[in-house]
Amino acid sequence: MDKTDYEYLVIGGGPAGLQMAYFLEKANKDYIVLERDGGVGSFFVRYPRHRKLISINKKFNYFPEKEYNLRHDWNSLLSDEEDLLFTNYTSELFPNADLLVKYMRDYAKKFNLNIRLNTTVTNIHRDPILKGKYRSLYTITEQNGMKYTCKVLLMATGAAMPDKPKIEGAELCDTYQKHSLDKKLYENKKVLILGGGNSAFEVADHISDSAALIHMCTRTPVIFSWDSHFVGDLRAVNNNILDMYHLKSLHALRQCDTKQFVKEEDGRFTQTFEMELPHWNPPGTATFTSKGYDSVILATGWKFINIDMFDESCKPETHTDGKFIVLDEHWETTVPDMFFIGTAMQSRDHKAASGFIHGFRYNIRTLFHMMDMRYDGGDLAKKIFPSIDATELANFMTHHVSISSALYQLGQGFLCDVLVLKPEEAAKSDCSEQMAGVAEYYYELPQAWVLKNDYFMNQAHMIIITIEDSHHMFPSTSATEFFKPGDMNPRDCKCTAFPQGVFYSYRCGKLEEVVHIGGSLVVRADKKIFVGDTNPDRFTNKLKNLFNRQIGIGSGDHYERLFPPEEWEKVYRPWTEEEVEMRKMKEIAMKSRKFECKLGILD
C-alpha cells in the first residue's frame, strides 16, 4: 500500500483494465490498476439501465476448439484458465448484466490482480524524460491528494461521460443515465426519445407497453447491424419499436434535426425541429413544432474521454467534437507513452468490434506484446517454421483462419496475421513443395501498423492474412436476400456475404495479388462445410497455388473448384443462353420499374 511508483499504471477497473492487468501480471510487470468504485466492473453495475446485455453469449457452437467458441462468446476475457469463461455462468443468449459484474470480480480475484479500489483520479500531469527508453513521467493525483507516478499510462476509463447534445433546452430533459425505470410513470403518456442507437431503442422497448405514444427522433438514418455487419449499429434484440411502427401501433420514428426543447407551464415539452424533404416539390427544408410530450429522454451516446482529467502538460488530441481520442496505429495518443484501451479503441475502428469486449480483448493482447517489445525488449507473438513447406504452411494457415477468434472479430483489415517467407538462394528440384529457408508467422497485428513497418514492408515475400466479408460490395441488396451461397468462382471468391480468409501477397512492399479462399456459414476452411462438399481441399489448394505463383514452390496446378471434376456435371447444371437472357430481362424489368411515390430526389 505504501508503493506509489510504477512502470505501468492503468486507470479503470472495467473489462479493459482487467484484461491488460492480466497480461501485466502474467509477465510479472511492475503495474497497478486504479478503480474509482468499490469493486471492479462498476460501469456494468448500472448499465445497461434495463440490464439485458446485447453481447452474445452463445455456449453451444458444434465445434470443440476453445478459440473457435470465443467467436460467439462476447463477454469472456482472455486467460489460460480453460474454465474461466462467461459461458460457464449462464447459457442465456442475452444475459443479465449482473452476471457480467460477478464474472469480472471473480476474474480479478482468480489472478490476484493488483487493483486499488475507491481511488478517483482528479488530475494527470506529465513531465518529459529526455533520455532512456521512456519519454514520460506521469503524476496521477487522486481525490485524497495521494500521488502515483508511472512511465506508461494506460487509460481504461471506457464510456467516460455522456455525450450531451448541443440543443437549446436539452438541460431540461431527462437522460438515459438518469431516467426512471418505473413503467407506471409512463402509462398512457406521450414520450419523446432523442437518439437512434441501441441505448435509445433499449429505452423505447422498455416502455413500449406502457407509454401511449413514443416518438423517436434521430438526425441520421438508423443503421441496422444486419445490414452493416457492425455490432455497434442497431441490433434486432432492441428494434421492437420499429416493428410496432410499421404495424401501425402508434409508436413512431422521425428523422429530423432537433433545434430546441421548451418546457411549458403545464410541465409538458414542445420540440422544434427541422426536416429535410428532398421528395417535396420543390425540394426543401421545413421547420416543425411538436407539442404535449410528458417526458423527453436524451439517449445520445457517450464520450470516450474526460478531457478535464488532464492538465495542460498532457491533454491528448480528440476528434468528432471531443467524443473520441486521436490514436495512432498501436493505440498511442498524441502524448508520448499514453495509450487508451478498451471501448475507446473504436476511435480507429468503426467496422469491426474494437468498441466491445469481444474485440478489444484482442487489441489489448496485441498492445501488450507491442509495449513489451518497445519498453522491455520482448518479441511479438509468432511461430517459426524452420523450412518452407507449401503443404505444411497451407494446412496451418487454413486451420488457423478456421478457428481464429481475433481475426474473425477484428477483420475487415483491422487486425491481421503476417507470414514472412525467407527462402535461401539454393537450388531446388522442379515442382518440389519444399524449399530451404525460414517462414515466420506473426499473430494479430494492426494492419495499418504492418503497412508502415520497415521490417515487414522490406521483405521479399510477405503475406497478410485477414478474415473479411464483402457485404459492402452489394449496396442495393437487402440483408434478407443473402440466403444463397456467394460467388464460387474458383480463382476469385470475393463476392460473398460470409466471412472468409483473405490473403494479400506482397513483394518488396508492393501488393502483387489478393486471394479470397471462399466463405462459409460456419467460417471454417478446414472441414467439410455442408453435405455434398466433396472437395474441402480446395482451400489449401488455393494457398499452395499462391505459393507457386509468388515464390516458385510446388506445381501450381492444385484443383480449386467446389466439386471435383468427376462430380461437377452431376451436381451443377450451367444455364443455357436462353435461361441467362430470361434472368437478365427479369432483373432489368425490376430495376426499370417506376413508382409514383418516393423519398428522395432520384428515387
pLDDT by residue (tens digit) across 528-566?
A: 666 556 677 888 999 999 999 998 888 888 878 777 777
pLDDT of amino acid 548: 92
Q: What is the pLDDT of residues 86-108, one digit of tens each?
A: 999 999 999 999 999 999 999 99
Superfamily of domain 170-298: FAD/NAD(P)-binding domain (3.50.50.60)
Given a cut of 70, whether residue 595 has pLDDT beyond it is no
C-alpha span between 84 and 103 (Å, rounded): 8
**Cell 497451407 sits on residue:** 394
Strand partners, 263: 269
Q: Does the pLDDT value for residue 221 go beyond 70?
A: yes
Task: For residue range 148-175, list pLDDT tens digits in order.
Answer: 999 999 999 999 999 999 999 999 999 9
Q: Which three cell numbers stand for residue 341?
A: 484501451
Averaged pLDDT, 297-309: 95
pLDDT for res 427? 45
pLDDT above 70 as % of the chain: 94
- Tell me the three cell numbers of residue 246: 410499421
Q: Is the pLDDT reported for residue 311 higher than 70?
A: yes
Which is it for strands 31-34 and 5-11: parallel, antiparallel or unpaired? parallel
Mean pLDDT of 43-57: 95
Q: What is the DSSP letter of 447?
A: H
pLDDT of residue 426: 56
**Distances in whole angstroms, Cα of residue 424 to Cα of each of 427, 433, 434, 439:** 9, 14, 11, 11
More confident residue, 461 or 430: 461
Query: Matching CATH topology for 5-161+303-376 and 170-298?
Result: yes
- With bands split at pLDDT 50, 70 and 90, how would you rate the model's confidence at 44? very high
574 pLDDT band, cuts 50/70/90, is: confident
Q: Would you say residue 190 has pLDDT above 70?
A: yes
Greater confidence (156 vs 484) lies with: 156
Q: What is the mean pLDDT of residues 42-47?
A: 96
Residue 55 DSSP class: S
Q: How far apart are CA 132 and CA 134, in angstroms?
A: 6
**Virtual torsion, Cα 403, 404, 409, 415, nearest 10 deg:** -150
Residue 432 in this model has a pLDDT that exceeds 90: no
pLDDT digits (tens, 9 = 90+) for 226-275: 888 888 899 999 989 999 999 999 999 999 999 999 999 999 999 999 99
Question: Which pLDDT tens digit goes with each residue over 489-525?
Answer: 656 677 777 788 999 999 999 999 999 988 777 888 8
Q: What does the pLDDT average to over 353-367? A: 96
Residue 114 has what pLDDT?
Answer: 98
pLDDT of residue 71 exceeding 60, the answer is: yes
Q: Which of 525, 531, 511 is nearest to 560 (CA)?
A: 525
Neighbours of 91 (CB within 10 A): 11
C-alpha grid cell, residue 264? 411549458
Element (H, E) at 20: helix 15-26
* Residue 431 neighbours by CB distance under 10 Å: 12
> How confident is the model at residue 21, as a pLDDT?
98
What is the rounded average pLDDT of the residues 431-455?
Answer: 93
| 3-class state of residue 175 by DSSP | strand
Considering the chain, what percentage of its residues have pLDDT values greater than 90?
Answer: 74
Residue 316 pLDDT > 60:
yes
The grid coordinates of residue 483 equal 440466403
Cβ proximity of 486 and 497 under 8 Å: yes
d(CA 578, CA 192): 56
pLDDT of amino acid 532? 56
- Does the 5-161+303-376 domain belong in CATH 3.50.50.60? yes
Neighbours of 545 (CB within 10 A): 21
pLDDT at 527 over 90: no
> What CA–CA distance (Å, rounded) separates 210 from 195?
20
Domain range annotation of the chain: 5-161+303-376, 170-298, 382-571
Closest to 407 (Cα-Cα) out of 497, 501, 506, 493? 501
What single-letter amino acid sits at 27? A
The pairs formed by 106-111 with CB atoms below 8 angstroms and a separation of 24 or more are 107/18, 107/22, 107/77, 107/79, 108/13, 108/18, 108/21, 108/40, 110/81, 110/84, 111/21, 111/22, 111/25, 111/26, 111/79
Query: What b/e string do you get for 562-592 counting C-beta neighbours within 10 Å, with b at 16 or more?
Result: bbeeeeeeeeeeeeeeeeeeeeeeeeeeeee
pLDDT at residue number 534: 67
pLDDT at 39: 97
Residue 221 main-chain phi, psi, to 5 deg: -60, 145
